Amino acid sequence: MRAAYYESFAADNSTLRTGELPDPKVGPGQVLIEVRAAGVNPVDWKVMAGGLDPMLDTVFPVVPGWDVAGVVRGRGPDTPEFAPGDEVLAYARKDVVGAGTFAQYVAVSAAVVAGKPAALDWAQAGGLPLAGLTAKRCVERTEIGAGDVVLVYGAAGGVGTLAVQLAVDRGARVLGTASAASHDAVRALGATPVEYGDGLAERIRELAPDGVDAALDLVGGQQPTTSAVLSPGGRHVSIADPGVEQHGGAWIWVRPDGAGLAELARLADEGRLTVPVQASYPLTEVGAAFDASRGGHTHGKLVIVP
């Protein structure tokens, strides 16, 4: 099969290659997915740099990618949930780093797979799993409900665009930090944009004089501002700063979850959730996609299309 891969850790794209690798084996309880789209997430290039080496074993060559949307082409024993031809998506993180989704085919546990929502095209579906499940976990962990004032840091990013929509869908009033160039996009999602930079806490307090009920740090390093604007008893989480736990918040690390992904797919089909996609890249341009992700100024998702 055709795949993007690397054979050693590197903090840049110097070890990335594109070429032929053996097709994946399909074990019991697994499905073989022909990849139509695979979302790019910051964790992909952080893994390539060895960032998770203390936590997860690695088998080289590594095919990066933890998101997938595609068509079932085969299944292992004891896998009645899906059949060849089914259109599906999955957050395909595995216990060992190696056989990822930036390839023509990937074998995935059926337990983490859900049906593709008809309302999303392939690129949108490929960008939904990891970002969507992360956003869902953040919103649920902070118990966002009707009437809450919610602060989303990085509201124009891959996770942020989805977190904004999920919070708005629950009846919350959302304030979203973003650069000026992204303000219209944030407004279109139903949030009030707030400019980054000096004086951020003061600008938030002008919009929410009594403080915010929940804060979602999706970029890291936001604890000083959160401490200044969170209302008494407010809830806060971070996906980028483990130190949030020292301040009474929760550090979010999302698990693969087929049932949760099916719920997000349902929201998409009901017109309550969409996935903004900034750009799609072929396998030969995974390095360019990583560079764009490292830049930190994406509006929505970046997607690999094999």
Paired tokens of 60: 């080289």
Domains of the chain are: 2-128+275-304 (3.90.180.10), 132-251 (3.40.50.720)
Residues 6+ apart with CB under 8 A from 41: 66, 67, 130, 131, 158, 293
The vertex-46 CA angle with 165 and 143, nearest 5°, equals: 30
Q: Which residue has the tokens 């971070």?
A: 238
Q: How far apart are the first and last CA of the chain?
A: 11
Residues of the chain with pLDDT under 50: none
Long-range contacts of 140-144 (CB under 8 A, 24+ apart): 141/235, 141/237, 141/250, 141/252, 142/214, 142/215, 142/216, 142/235, 142/236, 142/237, 143/214, 143/235, 144/170, 144/172, 144/213, 144/214
CA 137 to chain centre: 11
pLDDT at position 298: 85
Reported as a single tens digit per residue, the pLDDT across 11-69 is 999 999 999 999 999 999 999 999 999 999 999 999 999 999 999 999 999 999 999 99
Measured between alpha carbons, how far is 191 from 194 in angstroms, rounded to an integer?
9
pLDDT at position 190: 97
CA 217 to chain centre: 14
Which amino acid makes up residue 53?
Answer: D
pLDDT at position 296: 84
Measured between alpha carbons, how far is 115 from 127 in angstroms, rounded to an integer?
14
Closest CA to 129 of 119, 138, 116, 118: 116
The three-class DSSP label of residue 61 is strand
pLDDT at position 297: 82
